[in-house]
Amino acid sequence: MPSMTERPTIVLLRGWMRDGRHWESFPDELSQQLDLISSNARPKQRPRIICADLPGNGSRYSERTPDSIGGMMSAIRSELKGTELVLVGISMGGMLAAEWVQRYPEDVVGFACINSSMRPHAYPWERLKLNNWLRILARLATSLVRKSGETAAVRELERFIMQLTLRPEFRTEDRLEQWVKWTEANPVTPGNALRQLRAAAAYKDPLVAPLAVPCLVLRSLGDALVDPVCSERLATAWQQTLQTHPSAGHDLAVEDPAWLAEALASWYNSHWPLKKTAD
């Protein structure tokens, strides 16, 4: 349980081929919303927000991605060495959060799951729409024969990911160029990308209601990568609250960081810090 004077640490967990930088402005938005909603909190009560990278992505790009969600989660956990965590996972990051809650419940005091999906709550074509399976495999096959540092190939891949995760109005050239720079600096190898994809496809929900910690499930109705029904079924299976963005695409944190930050801050502040009960 969290202490009466300190708030837990919020850990942000990303998905396939993404890293902490791809949260873009969201961590700052979340910090601001936490301050607004909890304006009377003393500075030491404000939570620390950490953007964690899994092996193979971002700051850990030179590492081999483990073959399972459990292995990925353990690798991230070994870098944090902390307890009283609130996990916020988007897409595959939601699977990492669920696995963490199942295996190390003593670490976690709550988690949020955004646009995620898990067996057995959805069909394979709902978890990743069929045409996207074919496009992803074709794109990865192409990247195998490209030079790893070839800017044109990186740009094609990042534009493809942008098409999967963002609605057209958010696919700006400035954002694309920033993503290309990040990937050139910290490239995800095709092997690591495939291991992440296979692990996510095989992952089965380990949690059974009632959950031991508070949970919030969020989804975007404009998600073109994962069917929004997947989040609805997770919320039903876990007997948890479901919040819905009426129009955003898969990457809700990029498309509407203010909406997501407000939803998470309201949920967070409804639980932490705990108020001391009367004796």
Question: Could you tell me the two tokens for 231?
Answer: 């989040």
Burial class (CB in 10 A: 0-12, 13-18, 19+), 165: buried
Residue 36 is predicted with a pLDDT of 78
The confidence score (pLDDT) of residue 2 equals 42
Q: Is the dihedral of CA 185, 174, 129, 156 positive or negative?
A: negative
Rg, C-alpha atoms of the chain? 18
Does 204 have pLDDT greater than 90? yes
**Separation in Å, CA 181 to CA 91, 142, 149:** 23, 20, 11
Output the CA–CA distances (angstroms, integers) from residue 121 to 103, 117, 203, in the order listed. 20, 7, 11
Percent of the chain with pLDDT over 70: 84
Contact 245, 221 (CB under 8 A): yes
- For 79-110, letters b (16+ CB in 10 Å) and e give eeeeebbbbbbbbbbbbbbbbbbbeeeebbbb
Tens digit of each residue's pLDDT (9 = 90 or more) over 234-257: 999 999 999 999 999 999 999 999
What percentage of the chain has pLDDT greater than the value 90? 67
- pLDDT tier at 45 (50, 70, 90 boundaries)? low
Helix boundaries (H) for the chain = 26-37, 69-80, 92-103, 124-127, 130-144, 151-165, 173-185, 190-202, 229-238, 252-255, 257-269
What is the average pLDDT across 101-128?
90
**Segment 102-120 mean pLDDT:** 95
Cα–Cα distance for residue pair 126/73, rounded to 1 Å: 24
The whole-number pLDDT of residue 146 equals 54
Residue tagged 């996207």 (tokens): 132
Q: pLDDT tier at 5 (50, 70, 90 boundaries)?
A: very low
CB-based contact 73:99 (threshold 8 Å): yes
Span 181-198, mean pLDDT?
91
Q: Is 205 within 8 Å of 96 (Cβ atoms)?
A: no
Summarize the confidence of residues 91-101 as an average pLDDT: 97
> Environment class of residue 275 by beta-carbon count within 10 Å: exposed (0-12), middle (13-18) or buried (19+)?
exposed
Please choose, from the candidates 198, 21, 181, the residue with its C-alpha nearest in 3D space to the C-alpha of residue 92: 198
pLDDT at 1: 43
Express each pLDDT in 85-95 by its tens digit.
Answer: 999 999 999 99
CB neighbour class for 59 (10 Å; exposed up to 12, middle 13-18, buried from 19): middle
Whether the per-residue pLDDT at 277 is higher than 80: the answer is no
Rounded to the nearest integer, the mean pLDDT of the chain is 87
**Residue 83 pLDDT class (50, 70, 90 cuts):** confident
Domains annotated on the chain, with CATH:
9-269 (3.40.50.1820)
The phi, psi pair for 111, rounded to 5°, reads -150, 155
